[in-house]
Chain A
Amino acid sequence: MNPTRLWAIARKEAIQLRRDPRSLIMAFLLPVALLLFFGYAISYDVNNIEMAVVDESGSERSRALVHAFESSGYFDIVEYPARYADVDDLLQRAKVRVVMVIPPRFDRELAAGRDAAVQLLLDGSDANTATIAQNYAAAIVIRYSSDVLLHARRFVLPVEAETRVWYNETLESRNMIVPGLVAVIMSIIAAMLTALTIAREWERGTMEQLAATPVHRLDVVIGKLLPYVGIGLFDVALAIVAGLLIFGVPLRGNILLLAGLTLLFLLGALSFGMFISAAVKSQVLATQVAIQTTYLPAILLSGFIFSISTMPIALRAVTYAVPARYYVTVTKGIFLKGVGPEVLWVEALAMIIFAAAGLTLAIRSFRKELE
């Protein structure tokens, strides 16, 4: 390695980057756009579920049950169809997702101290929302029945679970998504940024001139990486600020630890992009390969959206080979749990291995010899 040559390459790369609008957009605009887009679009929070109520009982007791739904905040009662026959139409047109039917004998059965059934119809075409709605509705109905029971018999429930959620007290999915999102976006951007860099030299014929100089391939690879490492760190900082200010996500851990682990992750992801670039020697193909190999694994197999612990064993094994998996754990851990090296050393070790492997691949695949 020769510092003068390495610096000459890094400087040249930075100047080229500055003059290339496509790279600038990818480096500075795309990450922010993705963060805003995904940050607002992905949400598992289910509030104000549209609901219809067919109250055939029309009693004080049935109105109390409807009120329990309304005041929960989870349901928004938008329709009171008079007849049961109208229900089908409402569900089909997706005007409502939940329908509750209270039968005429509801009041009588309760008054007599017998079981009274209410019917809940759920739109299963959005299974996720349906499941959540079902749980909320069941909870409200159970609460209501126990009130009825306690009121009638003057009992106290023997066991009551007092739940408290740690790390994300309000269970806002945004708190969980944004830190993971930073990791996912950087996986994609990092590989795409460097995917262009060596392929461009081959396409423009500048590689030959470079190869005829005494510059070593280590100088070329490291020199080319430097400006992108700078951009990557800047992007992460930008995403963190946006997460804090726009999405109000808490940052509980050490920001320097986050910066250090981010650097490790970027080294791996950027060298991987460079490896692709040197291996395929075409900008278009390299970009395609970079997107294909980072986008889906980062979204599906990193634990960003889908919990790794619930995956089938075979798929769980695959996730160990996805670098984003470790970085997602790091960002979530530092943002939400405020954990330190005593927990994250495993991830740090994994990312060191990925960085070393990426650099080795990039340097080895980069042939200065023209075949």
Chain B
Amino acid sequence: MPEAVRVNELTRKFGDFTAVDRVSFVVERGEIFGFLGPNGAGKTTTIKMLTGLLRPTSGSARVAGFDVGREIDQVKLNIGYMSQLFSLYHDLTVLENIQLFAGLYGVGNDRFADRRDWVLEMAQLAGHQDRLTGELPLGVKQRLALGCAVLHEPPILFLDEPTSGVDPISRRNFWDLIYGFAASGTTVFVSTHYMEEAEYCHRVAVMNRGRIIALDRPRSLKAAIQEPVLEVTTAAAPRALEVLRDAPGVIEVTMFGRAVHAMVEDQAAAERQIPEILAAAGHSVESIRPIEPSLEDVFVSFVHRSGGTLAE
């Protein structure tokens, strides 16, 4: 098998709206490939085209060496897919869900017992196999869904915002599982809108308004940022954000915990002007200092550089 995924000028239109616009990229085998972008950026639509759930309007894509347009059955045998909406059967027990997906993926009787035990252990459900799936906590359900999606040990795994709505600890555990898959040679294609999760990926494609606006290792992406970023701490961060949004020399502002991150054109000028502007609006600045840009800042910078605005 050559690359895990090769996408060429892939496009999907819904009427007049172009959800995915001439996207091209390659995912190497064994890679954790991240798809980063706000809701509506086209991440989900791209993944649905790669998993055979949606037909491309134009362009082509090969997954595991098979064409998603013509060899969709082969593609489906070689991938596991888990979507943001948890979608196992709530009215089946844990074991019944495992049996169903084993049947659908053609996991034979010889392999079934091993795979079942593996899923139960991975989802921390050993001894709970007769519980109704609907009664499980969300984090556990998510792990079970992941287990069912990889029962047939596919070489490529597609995860569409797998951790949305899950608490931070479950999210961390889930990423440990993803590392485990990658370590055993599985290619993981994962989309997220949590910027910090993108840091865990080998490479990240940043998407906005249907286009890929940046694609590189997280560290390289951050290094590529030219605009300085200042962290501004004030007593009333949300209101300070509103004031700074339209201030001269400020490219973009984002909330970061209780602080405001401001991407500026000129660091020295901004360090002088921002406290003045805020003071004029009645806010005192507790501290202002340059910081290492986060991926969120990277995202903002690339959107700015591509001359666009954020989706939504």
Listed stretches A207-215, A261-269, A303-311, A328-336; interface member: A207-215
* Distance A315 CA – B76 CA, assembled complex (angstroms): 50
Contact between A370 and B106 (Cβ–Cβ < 8 Å)?
Answer: no
Tell me which of A8, A16, A214, A369 contacts B53 (CB under 8 A). A369
Instruction: Name the residue on A nearest B107 (C-beta).
Output: A4
Contact between A8 and B73 (Cβ–Cβ < 8 Å)?
Answer: no
Contact A16 B92, CB 8 Å, known A204-B87, A208-B53, A212-B53: yes
Contact between A214 and B73 (Cβ–Cβ < 8 Å)?
Answer: yes
Query: Could you say which residues of chain A place their CB within 8 Å of the CB of B92?
Result: 12, 15-16
Interface contact tally, CB-CB below 8 A? 84
Say yes or no for B35: interface residue by CB 8 A criterion.
Answer: no
Query: Could you say which residues of chain B place their CB within 8 Å of the CB of A292?
Result: none
Contact between A212 and B85 (Cβ–Cβ < 8 Å)?
Answer: no
* Distance A20 CA – B51 CA, assembled complex (angstroms): 31
Query: Could you say which residues of chain A place their CB within 8 Å of the CB of B83?
Result: 205, 208-209, 212
Tell me which of B86, B96, B104 contacts A210 (CB under 8 A). B104
* Distance A150 CA – B51 CA, assembled complex (angstroms): 94
Contact between B76 and A214 (Cβ–Cβ < 8 Å)?
Answer: yes
Chain B proximity mask over A289-318: 1 for CB below 8 Å, otherwise 0 = 000000000000000000000000000000
Tell me how many residues of B have a C-beta within 8 Å of chain A. Answer: 32
Q: List A residues 1-39 near B (Cβ within 8 Å).
A: 2, 4-5, 7-9, 11-12, 15-16, 19-20
Contact between A212 and B90 (Cβ–Cβ < 8 Å)?
Answer: no
Tell me which of B53, B85, B96, B104 contacts A205 (CB under 8 A). B85
Q: Considering residues A12, A16, A19, A216, which has the most beta carbons from chain B within 10 angstroms of its beta carbon?
A: A12
B240 to A: closest C-beta gap in Å: 41
Say yes or no for A371: interface residue by CB 8 A criterion.
Answer: yes
Query: Could you say which residues of chain B place their CB within 8 Å of the CB of A216?
Result: 73
Contact between B55 and A214 (Cβ–Cβ < 8 Å)?
Answer: no
Query: Could you say which residues of chain B place their CB within 8 Å of the CB of A212?
Result: 51-53, 76, 79, 81, 83, 149
Pairs A–B under 8 Å by Cβ, sample size 28: A5-B103, A5-B104, A7-B103, A8-B99, A8-B100, A8-B104, A9-B103, A9-B104, A11-B103, A16-B89, A16-B91, A19-B91, A205-B85, A206-B89, A209-B81, A209-B83, A209-B87, A209-B88, A209-B149, A210-B104, A211-B53, A212-B52, A212-B81, A212-B149, A214-B104, A214-B105, A369-B52, A369-B53
